Structure 1
Amino acid sequence: MFRTRLDETLTVKTFSSAVAQILVFSLVGAREALLAEYPRRAVTPDNLLRYFSTASTRAGLRPFRVLSSIVASAKSALGPISSAWSEAALLLAWIQGRVPGLEDYHKAYEEFHGAYDPREKIDFGVYATPRELAGFMVKGCDWILSRPPFGGVSLHSGRVKIVDPGCGTGTFLERIAGGGAAGSPVAGEVAYAKVFGIEILPVPYALAHMRLDTLRHQGNLVLEPRILMGNSLSDPVVGGALGVSSGRATGHEAILAAEFEDVVRAAQVPITVVLGNPPVSDMGFNMGRGFRRIESALEDFRPPSKLRKSRMNLLKPLQNDCVKFLRWGCLKVEESNGGIAAFVLPASILTDRSYAYLRQYLRREYDGIYVLNIDRDQRQRGEGRESLFATQQGRAVLIVVKHRIRTGGAESHGARLFYYGLVDEARTRAAKVEWLLQESRAEEPLGKFSEFQPVGDLVPFVPASGRVNLRAAMDQYERFWPLERMFTSRVSGVKTGCTGLLVHTDRERLLALLRDYANEGISDDALRTRFFQGQVKSGPYQHGSVRVRIASHLERIRPELFRVYALRPFVRGVIYYDPAIMGEVSGGRPRPELAQAFAPRTRNIGLAVAQTPSQLTEETTSFAAVVSSLADNDLVSRGNAYIFPVLFPDESGGLVDNLTPEIRDALTGLAESGNLLDRGSEAVFYCYGIMSSDFYLQRFRGVIDRTSGFARIPITEDRELFRSIAEEGRRLAGAALGRDGRQVVLRIEGTLNVEVERFRFEDLSVVAMVGGTEAFRISGFSRQALDYVANGYPVIQEWLKRKTRPYLHRQFEEGDLRELRQVAGAIQAHINAQPHLARLVERVLTGRLVSPS
C-alpha cells in the first residue's frame, strides 16, 4: 500500500528499516516532550509507547496515521521490531534527567541514523545542515529577492512559493518559518505560507513536524510550512501531473493518496525559490522506471552524445542524487520564468571535469551564480582544516539566479559569477560558524563575494588565485600533446571488489589466506580475526553467503593466477587474478584488456595517470607512474587510475602498437629505432620524465585541471634532449618498480621479527608499536623522503601500513627492511633528480616543440 500510493521504490527491507527507526526514535522525541510537560505527564514506558500514536494523529502526519493504525492492530506481527521498541522504552524511562544534545533534533537524528544503520546513512548520503549555514542561505536568498528584478518581495512574506525538495529534519523550513537567519520572529500573525518541504525518509519527516510543532507552541513561527512525505524526483512530481485521485481510494489508501497529491501540487510551478541540502549518494537510487523525467532533464548536464563513450567514468558522478536535485531545482526555476535555486553540494562540483558541462549549462542559462566554498575534501593531501560538515567530502553552496526566460532570440552573455572562499579564510569549524552568523546579520550577506571570470574550457567555478600569468601558461599548455592523442587506447585499473582477499604484499601469506578462506571448517569470525580485523575497509565477501560463493572458486587454487600487481606507488604486491571471484562481489572489475596487455613475459609497460590531479592533493606532486604489470584502480588515490599501455590487445587477442599514427610520425628521428615495444617504451619514459618534474608541475599548476582531457606533454624537437629526458624517466621508473638496486642506509634500534600493530612517526624516525610499547625504531630518512607524496599517497606511510599485522599477517622481517631501504632509495632518487630535470624541462619549454596538427 505504501509502495503503491506513496513511493514505488519502497522495498520490504527499506520499509521494515523505516518502521523500526520510526518506532525507536519516536521514543527519543517522546521522552523530550514528556520531560517538558512533567509533572503533568511522567516519563513511563507506557506513556512513551502511547506517544507515537497520539503524536501521529496531530501535526498533519498523514502517512504516520496509517502506520499507527497498522501498528496498533498488528503489533504481534512486528516480531523483533516490537521487542526492540518495548526495550528502548524501558531504557529511556529508566534514564534520569535530560540527555545533552537531544534537544537539537537535527543533530540527534544524524547521530542516531549513523549508529542505527551506518551503511544506510552512507548510501543515502544524509548529513544534517548546520543551522548557521541554513540561516545564511535563507538570508542570502532573501537579499537577492530584495533586489531588482524580483521587486523587493521577502522570503518571509508568505507571498512567494518556496520548496525544499529533500527537507530532511526541516532545518531550512525552520529558518524560513522562524522569521529569518537570525531567528528573530517578524512581528505579525502567523501566515499560512506557500512554503513546502518534501522528504522521503520517514524519521526526518516526522522530526521536521515535531520541531515545527515545538516552535509553534513556543510562538516562534511567523509562517506555517507544509511538510509532506514523497519522492521529489519521481515522474509525477517532476512533471506536476496528478495520478490516481484520493477520491477513488478508501480508508488508509485514501490518506496516502491525498498525501501524494499534495506532494505533486507542492512541486507545481510557479516556484520562486528552491533550496536545500540534498542527499549525496552515488548508489544509483532514483533511476530507471518512474524517474524518466529527471533523467531526461540531466541530459543538459552531460556532454553531447557524439563525445560520449561506453564505460565513460566521467558520466557516473552525474547519477549522484545531489546532481538530480540540483537539476530538479533548476528545472522548476526555468519553468517558473525565473527564480533562485540554492543548494549545499559536494565541492567537487566546482572544479571536477565530470561536472564541466553542468557548469557550462549553468553559466549559459543563468544570470547570476554565487559560490561559497566551505569545506576542503579531507581525502586530499594538504594542510588540515576542520570541516563544517561531518563528512570527508568537501562542501560548497551554489546559488543560481535566473531573472527571466530569454525570448525573441535574446543573446546570453553568460552568468556573472561571484565567489567567497570560506575554506581558505576559516581554518576551524568554530571560525566558519562565526563567519556565517556574522554575515547572516549583515545588510548585504553576499557582499563579501568577489566577481571573477572562470579560466579554462572546463569553466571552473573557482577563481584562478595567485596566477596572474595563468592565461599565458594555458596558451602554452594547449600546444602540448594530450595523452589521448599519443595513445590510441587506455583502460582503467583493476577493481577487485575484495582487495583484502585477493591482494597482498606476500605471496605465501596470500596463499594461506585463500586456503583458510575456502576451508568451511574455519568460521567467519575466526577468519575475520585472523586476516581482516583492523583493516580500514571491510566487505560482505568476508562472511556469509558471499563467502560461500567465492569459496567455491577456491576449491582448487591455481598457481598461474598469482600475478605481480602494482598496488600503490612504489608498493609492489601480488594478486590472485580470478575474474570469476571478482564477479561475485559488488564493484568488481577485472579489466580483461589490462590482463591481456600485461600477460606474463610480454615485457609491456604503460603510463598510469590520474585525469584530475587536483582530486588527489592540494600539493603540487606527481600524478603518474610507470607500470609493467596488472595495476590497481587505486594506484592513483580515489580510484582514478587510467593506464596507457605501449601494446594493447586487438579484437583477436594479439598485442598491437598502441601509439597513434600521429605521434609515431612525430617521434620519427627522436626516439630510438627498434621494435614497436622499444619505441613505445621510450615515449612512455619521456612522458614519465616530464611528469616527474616539479618544474613542469609548478609551471602548469592550476592549468592541468582547467583543461579538458588528460595531461599534455611538451615534445621537444631536439633529439638529444628528448633522449636525455627519456633516459631520466627510464631510470626513475626502474627505481620505482624496484629494478634499481640502490638502497638508503637505515639504522635499526630494537628487535625485528614482531607483528607490528602500527607505525608512528617521530622526527626523522619510524617507530614500530606492539602492545602500546616501542618494539623497534628505524631512522636515517630524510624529511623530504618521509613527506614524499605520489599519486595522492604519502608513500612511506602507505608502504608501512601494508606491513602492519592487519595487512601483513606475519612478523616484520629482515626482508621487509631491505624492501623499505629500496623504497626509500627510489623516493630519494626522485627527489635528487629534480634539479637536473628542471634544467632539461626548462630547455624543452623555451625551445622548439613538435606540436600536434
Structure 2
Amino acid sequence: MKEKFGKEKGLAEEGLKLLDPAAGTLTFIIRALGRALLELQDYHLGGMIPLNIKNHILADFYAFEIQVVPYIIGHLRVAMSLEKVWDYEFDKDDRFQFYLTNTLEMKEPEQELLLQQLTEEGREAMYVKEKEPILVVLGNPPYSVSSENKSEFIEKLMADYKRDVKKERNIQPLSDDYIKFIRFAHWKISQTGKGIFGYITNNSYLSGIIHRGMRKELLSTFDEIYILNLHGSSRIGEKTPDGGKDENVFDIQQGVAIAIYVKLEKPLKDKKVRYADVWGLRDAKYKYLRKNDVTSTDWLELEPKEPQYFFVPKDFALQEEYDKFWKVTEIFKEWSSGIMTSRDPFVVGSAKEDVIQRLKLFTGSMPDEAIKKKLILKDTKTWKLSEVRQKVKNKDWAEKFYSYCYRPFDTRWICYEPLLIDRDRLPFMKNLLKDNFSLVLKRSRYIKTTQFHHVYIATTIGDMNFMGDRSFFFPLCLYPDKTKIELLEEKAAKPDRTPNFTPEFLQAIKEALGTDPTPEEIFYYIYAVLYSPTYRKRYEEFLKIDFPRVPLPQDYEKFKNLSALGKELVELHLLKHPSLSETKIGFPVSGSNTVEKVSYDEETRRVYFNKEQYFSGILKAVWEYQIGGYQVMAKYLKDRKKRELSLEEIEHYRRMAKAIARTIEVQVEVDEVFGKGYCSEQSQRFRFLRAQPLLL
C-alpha cells in the first residue's frame, strides 16, 4: 500500500477502504485491523489508536457474511479484539460494519416487518457493494462447485470469464463459488479504478484449461500478480519435488494458493506475474508464511501466453514437435463422456441377479416411501420416484440388462433403462451396445493425479467415472443411427458398421505408411503409443493441458510392431490374452473370503484382504500400478469391502495381477520401438522393473 498507492501508514491510512466479502467470523478482518494499528505503534503514534479505530477502522473497514451464526460470532470477536487488545471503549452508536448479506446478489432487500434493522442493514450493504470505492479486498471465500449463487448480477459478471470457453462441453468448474468471489473482487477493484485484492483459494484456476478465459481477464485488468502456490492436494496425491510428503495448510483435499492482484492507477505496459511454490509439511508451510512476505519471497517471473495464459510455470520447449501430432478428437469422428446414472447402488451391480431383484422391488407394490428407504433413492428436480415407477412398470425392463464397464478390470451389470438414469448418453452409447471396443481417456482438467496414466479399453457401455471423474469414450466403429427405443429393444442381427476415424486422419496415415492399415491396426497402434513411458514423460506438460495427441508412425515396420504390442495390451486389459490362463499368483489360505481391511506387505509380496487371507507373489510395482485415478489392485478389493469374494472374483484378481505384470513388461517393449532416440527417466524405471522377477 505504501509503495504502490502512496499510503504512508499502510492499512492505518484514514480513508483507505477495505472489504472482506466472505468474512465468516472476521478472522481476516481482525488480523487486518491489528496490522493497521501496529503500524501506528511502529510510527510512535500509539496515542492515535482510539481515534483511528473510531474514524477509520469503524468507518472504512467492511465485511459481508451470509450465514447468521458466523455473523453473530464475528461481531462478538471484533468487539472483544478492539476492547480487550486495543483498549477501545465503544460509544453508544459505534458499530463495526459487518453486514448479513449475500455478496453475490445485487438487489434491494425485502421489507422485514419484524426485523426492520435487517432491512436497513441490507440497504447499507447494498450501498457498499455499489458505491464505496474499495481499495483492498481480502479473504478466504468458500469453495462449492455446485454453486447456488446464480443471481443476475454475478452471472452477468461471470460471462466475461466464460466468453472464451463457452463452446466447451463442460464449463461447470467456472461456476464454483470461489471463482465468483474472485470475479466480485475483480469487479470491485475495477470499479474503484485502482487497488489490490488478495485471496487464499482453491488453486485449480492457476492451470485449469477451462479457466483460461478467467486468467486472460485477470491479466487484462491487473498490472502485478503474485501467486504463492501452497499445493497440498490429496486429490492428486501431490508430493514435494524430491518425493516427500506434501500437506495442505487446511483440512481439505483440494490444493490451495495465495494470490495477490494489484491494479495501479497508471497501468503498466508490461504486466508482471510472479510465482513461487511452498512445499512440505503443514508446520513448515506455516513457518514459511510467518517469516516471509511479498518482499522476501523468491519469485519466478512468468510470461503467460495465449491461448492458455497459465499462472504456473510450464516447459513448452517441445511445443512445435507436439503440435504436429494428431489430437484424438481429430482422429476420431465421435466421442462422449460416460454414463452418469446418479443411482449406481440401484441400477448397477456386480451380479445381474442383484440388479434384477432391485427392479422387481421397484416395480412391485411396496409404497413409494418404503422403496426410497429400501433402495436408498430420493426425488430430485428432474426425477420423481412415483412418476418413474409407474412408467417403468409399463416397460419391458427385463430386456434392458447389459454388461457395464464400471472401473478398470471391473465390469458389472446395469439396467440401462433411460427412465432410471440421469445421463444415458444415447444415441452415442448405441455404438457400444454392439460388437465394438472403445479407447477410454480423460481430458487434462479432469485428471487428478500428477502423472499421465489415463488410458484404458472398454468393450461395452461405460461409466462416467470409469477412470475417475469424467472419462471419455472413443469407439473403434460407429453403427447406424436409431432412436433410443429402437436401440434398446432391437434384437435383430448386427447392422453394418463403419470405422470411427476421420477421413483426414485416414488419409494422413495412408500417406505416412504407403498403404491402408485396418481400423483395428490403427487402434492398437494408438493404444501402444499412449502406453509408452517415453511418450508420457516427454510430453507430460502437454498431457496436463488437453486430450493427448498421437504422432503418425515413422515407417510401416515400426507401425506394425507397435500395433502388435498395442493388441497385446488390449487383450491383457480385457483379460483375454492366452498367457493369462495360468498364473503363479497364489491364494494359499482358506477362510471366510470376506474383504475387511486391504493392505500390502512388500517384504512377503502379499496383498491381505482380511487378517488371515491374502494373495501372494504380487510385486510392489504391480500393487502400485495406476490406471486413471485408481490404484487398480487396491481399488478392486476395496470396492468389495464387507463382501465375500466369489471363486470367480478370486480367479479374476489373480489374472489381473498377471495382466498388470505383463503390461509393465510390454510398456518396456513399446519403448524399445517408440522411444528410440529419446531419453527418459520413466522408461529407465520401467526397464528396471522389467529386470525384477515378476511372478506370472
Question: Same-fold call, TM > 0.5?
Answer: yes
Q: Hey, what does 2:694 align to over in structure 1?
A: none
Identify the match of residue 461 of structure 1 among 304, 311, 318.
311
Identity %: 22
Write the letter of the residue equivalent to 1:281: S
Provide the rounded CA distance (Å) in 2 between the counterparts of 1:508 and 1:673. Answer: 49
Provide the rounded CA distance (Å) in 1 between the counterparts of 2:622 and 2:673. Answer: 23
1:643 aligned to 2:473? yes
Provide the rounded CA distance (Å) in 1 between the counterparts of 2:623 and 2:513. Answer: 35
The 1:778–1:845 alpha-carbon spacing in structure 2 relative to 1, beyond 3 Å, is closer
Contact 2:12 2:37 in 1 (8 A): no
Contact 2:143 2:176 in 1 (8 A): yes
Provide the rounded CA distance (Å) in 1 between the counterparts of 2:11 and 2:562. Answer: 62
Write the letter of the residue equivalent to 1:792: G
Q: Deviations over 1:308-329 (max 9, x none)?
A: 437x11x111111111110110
1:233 aligned to 2:104? yes
Write the letter of the residue equivalent to 2:334: S
Contact 2:406 2:465 in 1 (8 A): yes
Write the letter of the residue equivalent to 2:530: M
Identify the match of residue 608 of structure 2 among 753, 763, 767.
767
Identify the match of residue 335 of structure 1 among 191, 197, 201.
191
The 1:163–1:405 alpha-carbon spacing in structure 2 relative to 1, beyond 3 Å, is same
Contact 1:273 1:339 in 2 (8 A): yes
1:723 aligned to 2:560? yes
Contact 1:376 1:395 in 2 (8 A): yes
Q: Hey, what does 1:296 align to over in structure 2?
A: 156
SS of aligned partner of 1:750: coil
TM-score by length of 2: 0.84
Please show how residues 83-232 of structure 1 align to structure 2 within 5 Å. 145-179=1-35, 187=46, 188-189=49-50, 190-193=53-56, 194-220=60-86, 225-232=96-103
Q: Hey, what does 1:617 align to over in structure 2?
A: 449
Contact 2:210 2:445 in 1 (8 A): no
1:736 aligned to 2:566? no
Provide the rounded CA distance (Å) in 2 between the counterparts of 1:387 and 1:293. Answer: 33
- TM-align CA RMSD: 3.2
Q: Hey, what does 1:787 align to over in structure 2?
A: 624
Q: Hey, what does 2:693 align to over in structure 1?
A: none
The 1:553–1:216 alpha-carbon spacing in structure 2 relative to 1, beyond 3 Å, is same
Provide the rounded CA distance (Å) in 2 between the counterparts of 1:352 and 1:279. Answer: 19
Contact 2:332 2:502 in 1 (8 A): yes
**Deviation of the 1:527 alpha carbon:** 9.5
Provide the rounded CA distance (Å) in 2 between the counterparts of 1:594 and 1:563. Answer: 16
* Residues matched between the structures, number: 639
Provide the rounded CA distance (Å) in 2 between the counterparts of 1:594 and 1:736. Answer: 23
Q: Hey, what does 1:28 align to over in structure 2?
A: none
**Deviation of the 1:720 alpha carbon:** 2.1
SS of aligned partner of 1:829: helix
Contact 1:337 1:405 in 2 (8 A): no
**Deviation of the 1:201 alpha carbon:** 1.2
Contact 2:512 2:552 in 1 (8 A): no
Provide the rounded CA distance (Å) in 2 between the counterparts of 1:590 and 1:309. Answer: 22
Q: Deviations over 1:774-794 (max 9, x none)?
A: 241211111110010111210
**Deviation of the 1:500 alpha carbon:** 1.7
Q: Hey, what does 2:664 align to over in structure 1?
A: 831
**Deviation of the 1:224 alpha carbon:** 6.8
**Deviation of the 1:259 alpha carbon:** 1.0
1:564 aligned to 2:413? no
**Deviation of the 1:516 alpha carbon:** 4.9
1:475 aligned to 2:475? no
Provide the rounded CA distance (Å) in 2 between the counterparts of 1:339 and 1:328. Answer: 13
Q: Hey, what does 2:684 align to over in structure 1?
A: none
Provide the rounded CA distance (Å) in 2 between the counterparts of 1:342 and 1:833. Answer: 50
More deviation, 170-179/444-453? 444-453
Q: Hey, what does 1:391 align to over in structure 2?
A: 252
Provide the rounded CA distance (Å) in 1 between the counterparts of 2:621 and 2:514. Answer: 34
**Deviation of the 1:815 alpha carbon:** 1.4
Identify the match of residue 274 of structure 1 among 126, 129, 137.
137
**Deviation of the 1:684 alpha carbon:** 2.5
Provide the rounded CA distance (Å) in 2 between the counterparts of 1:604 and 1:576. Answer: 20
Q: Hey, what does 2:413 align to over in structure 1?
A: 574
Contact 1:671 1:683 in 2 (8 A): no
Q: Hey, what does 1:435 align to over in structure 2?
A: 288
Contact 2:9 2:40 in 1 (8 A): no
Provide the rounded CA distance (Å) in 2 between the counterparts of 1:705 and 1:456. Answer: 16
Provide the rounded CA distance (Å) in 2 between the counterparts of 1:455 and 1:337. Answer: 25
Provide the rounded CA distance (Å) in 2 between the counterparts of 1:342 and 1:350. Answer: 15
**Deviation of the 1:691 alpha carbon:** 0.8
The 1:548–1:825 alpha-carbon spacing in structure 2 relative to 1, beyond 3 Å, is farther
Identify the match of residue 542 of structure 2 among 673, 679, 703.
703
**Deviation of the 1:702 alpha carbon:** 1.9
Q: Hey, what does 1:125 align to over in structure 2?
A: none
Q: Hey, what does 2:506 align to over in structure 1?
A: 664
Contact 2:368 2:385 in 1 (8 A): no
Write the letter of the residue equivalent to 1:617: T
Provide the rounded CA distance (Å) in 1 between the counterparts of 2:209 and 2:653. Answer: 36
Please show how residues 471-620 of structure 1 align to structure 2 within 5 Å. 471-516=316-361, 540=378, 552=390, 555=393, 558-582=397-421, 588-599=422-433, 602-612=434-444, 615-618=447-450, 620=451
Contact 2:338 2:472 in 1 (8 A): yes
Identify the match of residue 228 of structure 2 among 344, 369, 372.
372
**Deviation of the 1:697 alpha carbon:** 0.5
Contact 1:649 1:656 in 2 (8 A): yes
Q: Hey, what does 2:486 align to over in structure 1?
A: none
**Deviation of the 1:528 alpha carbon:** 7.3
1:452 aligned to 2:324? no
TM-score by length of 1: 0.69
Provide the rounded CA distance (Å) in 2 between the counterparts of 1:745 and 1:688. Answer: 27
Contact 2:525 2:562 in 1 (8 A): yes
Write the letter of the residue equivalent to 1:376: G
Q: Hey, what does 2:146 align to over in structure 1?
A: 283
Q: Hey, what does 1:688 align to over in structure 2?
A: 527
**Deviation of the 1:593 alpha carbon:** 2.8
Write the letter of the residue equivalent to 1:262: E
1:260 aligned to 2:118? no
Provide the rounded CA distance (Å) in 2 between the counterparts of 1:613 and 1:663. Answer: 25
The 1:379–1:839 alpha-carbon spacing in structure 2 relative to 1, beyond 3 Å, is same
Contact 2:7 2:13 in 1 (8 A): no
**Deviation of the 1:553 alpha carbon:** 6.0
